[in-house]
């Protein structure tokens, strides 16, 4: 359990290696990849370390399990209160920035659910490959939170982003492909190879030139994603301090318990 960086051939944890200029950073926090505070910071460091490696020319961001990312660990926030909320927001900001600022392109390989913080990760990635069962969304309003509209707006047009945000609905990988934000949609069993295929095509370019290209493309972005997300976080803090976040979050927790119990 945790965050690991490995070559495509090995599933061992806590090892660092690369092959053909590709580093694979894998997230594994069972059962649903809802990351605790420490997990977000570990992910940020793993991505940054991979990008700093002169031998790496592309990073694949992947996950174990049935879903890519379920956002923050709600139970941790409920147990620890404001300290966990502050930690989660800082950790998410670090992880999102690490993906965006990674010195080389980042390809996100997404299966199953990509929710909440997962949108922050893929929205800041350079390319997305998804399995046919992948769904993307921000259920923040159902969970007493705000944030990552900045990143959802990089995946879909503005009015669709707003409707998805207000309703907490999800969109499929096929829908995002139609909007041009997903590179390929493949059967789940082919996700890893499809992501590595794209990463390999990128990694075949000159490493120095790729790093210059990444910096240049980030430099012409029309929206400063760090500043925009930080602005959103201010409203997350306000929701937490006002008590409305806890009220909604507690309701979400009760509903989740009923679903788990089969009620």
How many angstroms from the chain centroid is the CA of residue 213?
A: 22
* Cross-strand bridge partners of residue 109: 129
Give residue 132's pLDDT band: very low, low, confident or very high (50, 70, 90). Answer: very high
* Residue 89 reports pLDDT greater than 70: yes
Is the model's pTM score more than 0.75?
Answer: yes
* Cross-strand bridge partners of residue 130: 110, 185
CA distance 221 to 123: 13
Task: Pull the structure tokens for residue 182.
Answer: 């997903």
Give residue 2's pLDDT band: very low, low, confident or very high (50, 70, 90). Answer: very high
What pLDDT, on a 0 to 100 scale, did the predictor assign at position 19?
57
* Radius of gyration for the alpha carbons in the chain, expressed in angstroms and rounded: 18
Fold annotation for 2-190+210-261: 2-enoyl-CoA Hydratase; Chain A, domain 1 (3.90.226)
What pLDDT, on a 0 to 100 scale, did the predictor assign at position 85?
77
Q: Which of 64, 76, 69 is nearest to 96 (CA)?
A: 69
* Residue 174 reports pLDDT greater than 90: yes
Across 88-112, average pLDDT:
97
Verify cis geometry, omega within 30 degrees of 0, for the bond prior to 31: yes
CA distance 68 to 135: 10
What pLDDT, on a 0 to 100 scale, did the predictor assign at position 255?
52
* Residue 17 reports pLDDT greater than 50: no
Cα→Cα distances 53→56, 105, 141, 176, Å: 6, 13, 39, 31
């Amino acid at each position: 359990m945790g965050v690991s960086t490995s070559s495509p051939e090995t599933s061992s944890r806590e090892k660092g290696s690369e092959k053909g200029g590709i580093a694979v950073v894998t997230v594994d926090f069972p059962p649903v990849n809802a990351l605790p505070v420490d997990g977000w910071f570990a992910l940020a460091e793993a991505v940054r370390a991979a990008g700093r490696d002169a031998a790496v020319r592309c990073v694949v961001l992947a996950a174990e399990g049935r879903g890519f990312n379920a956002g923050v660990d709600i139970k941790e926030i409920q147990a620890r209160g404001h300290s966990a909320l502050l930690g989660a927001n800082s950790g998410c900001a670090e992880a999102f920035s690490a993906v965006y600022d990674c010195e080389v392109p980042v390809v996100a390989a997404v299966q199953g659910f990509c929710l909440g913080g997962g949108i922050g990760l893929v929205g800041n990635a350079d390319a997305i490959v998804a399995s046919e069962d992948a769904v993307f969304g921000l259920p923040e309003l159902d969970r007493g939170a705000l944030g990552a509209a900045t990143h959802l707006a990089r995946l879909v047009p503005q009015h669709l982003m707003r409707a998805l945000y207000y309703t907490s609905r999800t969109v499929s990988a096929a829908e995002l492909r139609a909007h041009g934000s997903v590179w390929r949609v493949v059967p789940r069993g082919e996700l890893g190879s499809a992501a590595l295929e794209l990463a390999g095509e990128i990694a075949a370019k000159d490493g120095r030139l790729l790093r210059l290209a990444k910096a240049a493309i980030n430099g012409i972005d029309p929206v400063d994603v760090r500043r925009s997300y930080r602005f959103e976080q201010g409203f997350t803090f306000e929701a937490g301090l006002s008590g409305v976040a806890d009220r909604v979050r507690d309701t979400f927790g009760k509903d989740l318990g009923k679903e788990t119990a089969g009620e």
